């Protein structure tokens, strides 16, 4: 389909390991967002890209989290030295970022479990 895709759908890792989560946005969408959703809660903002640059990374919880979008399309969220508290569903969204409407369309998420 033409929606936002995320891989892997599930990731199980051990405490202290490094993980990468990938997001492929809707074609033509210049804005890309990462959110994190813990069980029973709404999504929480992590970082927003406009093109290749991170326009707002104020939601990243600490310096173990980093994200890139080198060509302005696919983005990778990287988590170093994972901790059990990082377990959550990581959601990616993209939008056109035109100035009339800016509806964000979400991918299915990556469920990260840190043992």
Partner 1 sequence: SQELEQSPQSLIVQEGKNLTINCTSSKTLYGLYWYKQKYGEGLIFLMMLQKGGEEKSHEKITAKLDEKKQQSSLHITASQPSHAGIYLCGADTVAYNAGNMLTFGGGTRLMVKP
Provide the binding-site residues for partner 1, judged by CB under 8 A.
4, 6, 31, 33, 35, 40-45, 48, 50, 55-56, 59, 91, 93, 95, 97-99, 101-109, 111
Tell me the backbone φ, ψ of residue 61, rounded to 5 degrees. -70, -30
Cα–Cα separations (whole angstroms), residue 62 to 17, 96, 102, 103: 16, 28, 28, 28
Beta-bridge partner residues of 47: 34
Q: CB of residue 25 vs partner 1: minimum separation in angstroms?
A: 13
Q: CB of residue 97 vs partner 1: minimum separation in angstroms?
A: 5
Between 7 and 50, CB nearer to partner 1: 50
């Amino acid at each position: 389909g033409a929606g936002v895709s995320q891989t892997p759908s599930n990731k199980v890792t051990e405490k202290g390991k490094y993980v990468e989560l990938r997001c492929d946005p809707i074609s033509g969408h210049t804005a890309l967002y990462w959110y994190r959703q813990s069980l029973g809660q709404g999504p929480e903002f992590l970082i927003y890209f406009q093109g290749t640059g991170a326009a707002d990374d104020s939601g990243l919880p600490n310096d173990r989290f980093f994200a890139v979008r080198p060509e302005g399309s696919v983005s990778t969220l990287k988590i170093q030295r994972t901790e059990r508290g990082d377990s959550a569903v990581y959601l990616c969204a993209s939008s056109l970022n035109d100035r009339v409407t800016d509806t964000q369309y979400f991918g299915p998420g990556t469920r990260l479990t840190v043992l």
